[in-house]
Amino acid sequence: MDNQTLAGLLASTPPARLSIIELTADLTWPDGSLDLDAEAARQHEVELACAQGPGLRRIHEALSEAMRWKLFPRHG
């Protein structure tokens, strides 16, 4: 695979903002434990962030498959 092809595959991948990572930083205490009151107050955001996971996984799998196909073209 040449650099132009790889760049095209990566450019076609939608940007991802991993909300769960940002929320994790906001909802934990300095000792690493979960701030349950803060989590409860932002429950809707937490649920939306968790729902992001499967969609981002599918995007990653599609990109990985495209890259594998470009690296190792299927014959037949």
Tell me if 1 sits within 8 A of 67, measured CB to CB.
yes
pLDDT value for 16: 67
Q: In the 8-state DSSP scheme, what is residue 25? A: H
Per-residue pLDDT of the chain (76 residues; tens, 9 = 90+): 556 666 776 777 666 677 888 888 899 999 999 999 999 999 999 998 888 878 778 877 877 887 777 666 666 5
SS3 content of the chain, % helix, strand, coil (to 5): 70, 5, 30
